[in-house]
Structure 1
Amino acid sequence: MQFIFSSSVFAQGENLVRNPGFEEGTTESLHFWQTDCWEKSAGTTEFFIDETEYHSGSKSACIINNKENDSRYKQPIKVKGNTYYRMSCWVKTENVGTETKGANISIDGSLETSRDISETSNGWEYVELYGKTSPNQETFVLTIGLGGYGNINTGKIWIDDVEVVELDSLPPGKTAVNMDPSYSGGDNQNTSENNGSKGLLMLGAVIFFILFLCIIFITLFKDKIPALNAKSNAKTNESKSATQNINNDDEKWIKVKFDKTDFAIMGVMTLIYLVIALYNLGDFKVPTTSWEPTLPGEYFTIDLGKETTLSRIYYYSGLGSTKYNPHSKLRVEYLDENQTSNILQLSRRKIYSYGNFSTQHR
C-alpha cells in the first residue's frame, strides 16, 4: 500500500503539465489549475469544465467573457535554469473580438504570447510558444486564456491538451521568449545581486566593528589622551565642589552614573545577544526532504510495508515557498498495482497550522 504526496511530477522529456486535459476534478474543484481574471465582478466572466466540447478525452476547460476582460487558467510548472521549453495547447473560439488579443498561451507576468485565435474558429486550432528560463529559475506560471495585459476581450473559448515540454535546443526558425519576467540581465545577474547584498551586509558589519573598537579604545586609554584627560580633570573638580555643597539630608541618597565603561559593557552584551538572536532566527526557506514537497514538481512516496487500514492523515503547513504560487496545493494519491487514484487535494491558505482529513483506504 503506497501513498503519493505531490504538487506535480517532473521528468525528462515528458509533459510537465498536471491534468493537461482537464479530466480530473470539477468546475468547483479543478485539480492543479487556478483561474484568474482582471475584472472580478459577478457576471463578467465564467469558468467551467465542458463535457460537450473537447479535443481529446471527455472534457475541456471553457472561459466565457460576457464583458470585456482578461481571463485565464493558470498552473505553476517546475523547470530547469537556462533551458528551452515548448508551451502548447489546443483552443477553440466562438465570437471572440478581433480588436485585441484572442485566445492565447502565455507566461504570468509577461507581455509575450503565442499567436492568438479570434472570431469563431474552424474547429480546434493549435497554438504554441517557445521560451528559455533564466540561469537560476525554478518555476514559472503557465497561463492560457482570453485577452492579455492591456488587451481585454469578449467571447467564448475552449482549452484542451496543454503541454510544456523540455527541449535540448531551440528549433530552427523559432524565437524563444524570456520565461522569467523578473530577469533582464546576463547570466551573472543573480550572482551580482547576491554579491551586492552580501557586500552591504559586510560593510555594515565592518562599520559597526570599527565603532565598537573606537569605544573600547577611548574607554581604556582616556587617561592617556590629553584632551580627554583635561576634560576628565575639569569634571572631577566640578564634582568635588558640588559634593561639598550637598546637605546632610542628601547624603543618604546614592547617585548612580554611567560612564563609558558601562556603555561599552552594555554594547558588548547587546552585540553578543544580537548575534545569537540572528543565528536562531534562521531564514524563510523550508528544507526539502523526502517527507516534504516544497515546490511544484516535488513529491514523495510512503510505503507502509504491509496491508493496513488508513483512517486519518495529518499534515502541517509551514512557511513554504510562495514565490511563484501563493496558493499552493498538496495532492494525495493512492497507488495500487501501478495505478494511482486521487484521494484529496489541499489548498494551503494558512501558514504554521496543523490539520487532518479522514479517509478509508486499505
Structure 2
Amino acid sequence: GIAEHIVVADESRTGKRSLCITSTRGADTSFFTEVKVKPNTEYRLTGWVKTARLLGARGAQMNAHEVQKQPRGSRTNALNRTTPEWRRVEATFNSLNRDELTINCLFGGWGKATGTAWWDDVALHEVEYEAVIEAEPEVTGGNPSRGKKIFETHSVAACSRCHAAGGQGGSIGPALDGIASRKSKDYIRESLVEPQANIAEGFQIEVSPMPPMGVLLKEQELEDVMAYLMTLRN
C-alpha cells in the first residue's frame, strides 16, 4: 500500500512535533527505530496516539517486533476510527534473550488501513519492581499447646530429637521434665537463644551442639516454646 510518513508540527501533544502516518488508498506500514536493551529484562512501552477516520485492519498501535510472540505479546491497544483526543497506550513485555529491539509505530497492522494516525511521547522504560516485604505478625503471648507441637514436630529445630519431656524424646541433651521448677524463666530463655551461655549440669562439654533457637524459630514460635517449657513443673 501507499502511505505518507511525516513529522508534523500542528498536532503535537507535548513539545513541537509528532509522527503522522496517513493513507488514502490503504497501507500496512510502520515507522520504526532500533533500541539497545538488556536481555531478559522487563520493559514498558508507552506512547500517546490519536486517529482520524482510520478504518481497516487493527488501526494504530505500537509494538516491540522481535518479542511479540511471547504469551502476553508486546503490542499496545489499537485505536481506530476517529479518536480526536490523545490517548495513552502501553505494553509490558520481557526482552527475552535480545539485546536490541525494533520499536514500531504500526499503521494498519496485519492488514491495510486508510485514514490518519499520530504518535507522540513514545518511550521505552525498564520496569523496576518494588519489593513487597510482608510485616511479621504481631507477637502475642506464648501458647503452650502450639509450643508443645513445635517442640515435638518442628523439622528444623528438632527439639525432641535431643531432649525428652514426659518420657518422650532423645537423650543427647538434658531431660526437661520439671525444668520450670528448677530454673528461672530468664535462664530458660537464655538457654534457648544462647545455648553456649549455660551448659547443663552433668553435661561436661565445652561447646553445646544445640543451635540457637532464635535463628531457627520465628519470634512467635519461640514464645510458644517458652510457654510450653514453663508448664513443665514437678
TM-score (norm 1): 0.33
Amino acid at match of 1:63: I
Summarize deviations over 1:127-161 as a string: whole Å, max 9, x none: 11111011x3211100012111x322111011110
Looking at structure 1, the residues matched to 42 and 116 of structure 2 have their Cα atoms a distance apart, in angstroms, of 31
1:87 aligned residue: 45
Amino acid at match of 2:65: D
Instruction: Report which of the two structures shows the higher radius of gyration computed on alpha carbons.
Output: 2
How much has 1:122 moved relative to structure 2?
A: 2.9
Summarize deviations over 1:242-284 as a string: whole Å, max 9, x none: xxxxxxxxxxxxxxxxxxxxxxxxxxxxxxxxxxxxxxxxxxx
Looking at structure 1, the residues matched to 82 and 52 of structure 2 have their Cα atoms a distance apart, in angstroms, of 4
1:127 aligned residue: 89
Where does structure 2 lack aligned partners over 5 or more consecutive residues? 131-234
How much has 1:169 moved relative to structure 2?
A: 3.7
The percentage of aligned residue pairs carrying the same residue is 27
Looking at structure 2, the residues matched to 130 and 119 of structure 1 have their Cα atoms a distance apart, in angstroms, of 25
- Following TM superposition, the consecutive aligned residue runs of length 4 or more in structure 1 with deviations greater than 3 angstroms are 109-112
Corresponding position: 1:146 with 2:103: no
Looking at structure 2, the residues matched to 115 and 122 of structure 1 have their Cα atoms a distance apart, in angstroms, of 16
Corresponding position: 1:103 with 2:60: yes
The within-5 A match list for 1:273-352 is none
Q: 3-state DSSP class of the match of 2:82? A: coil
Q: 3-state DSSP class of the match of 1:155? A: strand
Looking at structure 2, the residues matched to 74 and 114 of structure 1 have their Cα atoms a distance apart, in angstroms, of 15
Where does structure 1 lack aligned partners over 5 or more consecutive residues? 1-38, 171-362
Which residue of the other structure, out of 155, 160, 180, is the alignment partner of 2:120?
Answer: 160
How much has 1:92 moved relative to structure 2?
A: 1.0
8 Å CA contact retained: 2:52, 2:84? no
What is the Cα-based RMSD across aligned positions, in Å?
A: 1.7
How much has 1:166 moved relative to structure 2?
A: 0.2
Amino acid at match of 2:89: V
Looking at structure 1, the residues matched to 92 and 129 of structure 2 have their Cα atoms a distance apart, in angstroms, of 11
Looking at structure 2, the residues matched to 168 and 52 of structure 1 have their Cα atoms a distance apart, in angstroms, of 35
Looking at structure 2, the residues matched to 86 and 165 of structure 1 have their Cα atoms a distance apart, in angstroms, of 5
Looking at structure 2, the residues matched to 66 and 108 of structure 1 have their Cα atoms a distance apart, in angstroms, of 26
1:137 aligned residue: 98
1:4 aligned residue: none
Corresponding position: 1:69 with 2:31: no
